[in-house]
A and B are shown apart, each in its own frame.
Chain A
Amino acid sequence: MRRFFRHRPAAFQPGSIAFRLIVAVLAVELASSILVVGLSFGYERHAHFHAFDVLLHGHVDSILGAVQDADDTEKNVMLVQADLHLPHDDIYEVYDSNGRLLGRSPNWQGIPPNTPAPSQSPYMELTVNGHPYRVLRFQGSRIIDVAEPGGGKLRQFTILYGAPTFHVWRAIRGAVEFYAVGSLLLLLITGPLIAWLLHRGLLPLRQLASLASQVSVDSWQFSPPASAHLTPELAPLTLAIENVLQRLEQSFTQQKTFVSDAAHELKTAVAVIKSTLQLLGMKRRTVAEYQAGLERCLADSHRLEEIVAKMLTLAREENAAAAAGPRPASDLTECLDSAVAQLETFAALRGVKVEVAIAFSGVSLVPLTREDCSLLLSNLILNALQHSPAKTLVEIRLAQRGENAELRIQDHGDGIDPAALPHVFDRFYRGDPARSRNTGGSGLGLAICKAIVEKAGGSIDLVSQPDPNLPHQGTTVTVHLPLAREAEACQPQPVLPSA
């Protein structure tokens, strides 16, 4: 593509639009010049032969004028050839009404006997002495001896007069040749002219391409000239490029942010482990101190491991969004029951009571795999438990809302700062480090939940109104998931014992 625009002549290589356009235009031109040549041939032939025929008639008239009274007893007529001044190539014959030959040109033996009978047309084509002739058969009458008493007699004659046609043909050919050569010259001139005009005309397209080719991962700047938006042919292309670039940039920025956030998290986690080890090595310590240090290192490594695992989960959930294949289905009620059962011990340890209320009439199948569904529920419940002070209640409500399943999980913790609320689903975001770090949060839990819910075509919202006057107002997470229709829902996946 770059080469295409860099080398000028290459713009007209076979297969390019410009090349095809030029070929098409030249073909049309060629066809029209052939037509012009054909038409001019027809017209020239008609015009020349018309003039030729007029000439034949003129000669016939002069022959008629040369017919004289023969001054013999039988009142015969004769042709006075001495009076005739006719082109020496021409041929003629004159017969009277009785069929008697009155005269004939010296260079002719008359109509060959095998000549077909004269048709309606007064003209016929003959070959005389090897040359093509056009012959006019003329039935004429003339009053001979006007001076005689009674005003003379009306006599009938038949005159055949022919002249060679090769002069005419030569003239026609000359005219046609003129047109043909003219057309050809025009063709030769217009070819490069069209190429040049096309090259000029396609300039905005090349400019657009060169602008687009300057876009790279580091520089997303694409500012097409205003004319690109106003040109009907370029506008859709320009718009498409702009949209694609915008989406790409967005996704790149997202990825970059994720990578940088992930790097920050991992570096911090590694810094913790490294500093613990170095602190341990700073001086001689007792066995108990070493043991405590090792335990801390182990705990830190465990956290690092958890961050990596969650990052991978998040990457999987976000990338699987467009995956094809059969729609998964799992029973939300069942997943909820097992998730609650799983976290029972944790809740008891923290002294938090969990209350589950399920108001569901039909089967609560949602388009999620069982793993995702369990992960979503346990993440949300764990979150609520972690943010619940002792002796408070976590309420879980599952209900049907039209086509959707609605899950509400409410805790009675301190709630979330309104300033932090818009960011709670951001990756690696921690509303309050003192709280989430101490409870082992990685800042990825809610991001994973959001990815899972969005993959299933649902929505997740978080409402929190911390009010100093109303302590333990808490946070409510609401998840809406589309319910799979009964007919569409295949066998729910078998319940696996949770790990």
Chain B
Amino acid sequence: MEIIKNFPCLSILMCMFAAIISSALNGKWAKWLNAFVLTAVGAMSLAVLYLTVSTGESYIYVMGHFPAPFGNEIRFGSLEAGIAFFFCVIMMLSLNGGRKKLQFEINPSKENLYYIMVDLLLSSLLALVYTNDLFTAYVFVEINTISACGLIMITENGHTIEAAARYMIMSLLGSGLFLIGICLLYDLTGHLLMSNIRVGIDAIVTNGTYKAPLLVTIALIVVGLAIKSALFPFHAWLPNAYGYSTVSSAAILSSLVSKGYIFLLIKIIYRVIGFDTFRDSKIINVLFVFGLAGMIMGSLSAIRENDIRRMISFSSVAQIGYIYMGFGLGTTVGMIASIFHILSHAATKSLLFVSGAGLTDVSGDRKEFIELTGAAYRNICAGLAFTVGSLAMVGIPVFSGFVSKLLFSQAAVQNAHKLLPTLIALAISTILNTIYFMKTVIRIYTPVKSKYTSVSVKENPLYVITLLCFVVLNIVLGMWSQPITDWIAQGLSVFA
């Protein structure tokens, strides 16, 4: 059992080393190494999850030999372990789903670079999840940004380079704000370790001093991370970045990268600022409003879109709006809903990207809707999977989206002031989601005499299995959500 406690640190290091080693390998080996690392990390996270759930406690792992408040720490409870495991699963599936297409999307000589980026990304995500040190978090935020940019740019076309540049600028802006926030925190409390800052902040709050600086700090951190996770109105970089990068990149970026930041934000809210302090600040109202606006505006943009990939990307803007709206409700239930939505959105969005790629593949690689007509008949699996993803997005029972909707609304009902706007925005957003997703579904099921050839199920077993896994994941999230919400609640309870 003791050995398991080393796993979080080990998995971060493993990823980093894999990245380093991959630079010396060719594409194929890099791929295998990456697959191995992913599996190993997944397994280790699962073990950690088992440990933390079974004991119901959280653990601190001291890096090196300096104890707090000087040393660097890793902290893991059940929530962190679960999220890490989930990230591995999604990443694995997303990579598998886009594996075949990757050959055509990037220059084969750059394949190992691609996997380096993926490895780095994973390591930074894991670090964001596990770390107990704000400055470490900042470092990995930057690593995350860089590797994400690499993933976006690697297709080497004009759109992606532009998108990557935009992404870089917005991200740096975000991390800049984040950094200032950290500095201010350090200024206020003299610490960088989360638990220690928390003690300091609690003292400040009880004394009632430094109100304005504290507010500014919270605002800076929240806004910084919100920019990085593409909360409306900071989403301008997103559609192109997701829309034109490789399939796997898009899936990973939308379901993991932004979620990594959001998870970091949750961690900061609970472990650094303190949930009550956060709730009492005005920031949550701002988040709430932006969340609602994002839900609506993202969907409206998606409706106007004529490119399936960009449409799915805009849908991400809306979904991130949901998550922030959950923050904005300022209740633990709302937080649980948001975390659940992180999971459900990750599972759904990557499914949509991967299956969407399957549909565009059989439509001459065109992403316009008109070309997609009847695509579901040409690639049956992708069609079905896309339908499932759409239904989940719309929030049809059985699929994961429904549960998040349920949780959000239940959370909203407990907040008398934000109840009506939330519920109405949810309903409207559902309608808007229906409009663009169902339009697409009907479109792909409209038969035409097409000039494109169809693919059979057998041609690409890996792809089909990936889709199947995604679908199952969605249904599991949708049908047996009780253990998951229990786990989230338990994880949150040991957070503070």
> Are A and B subunits of one complex?
no
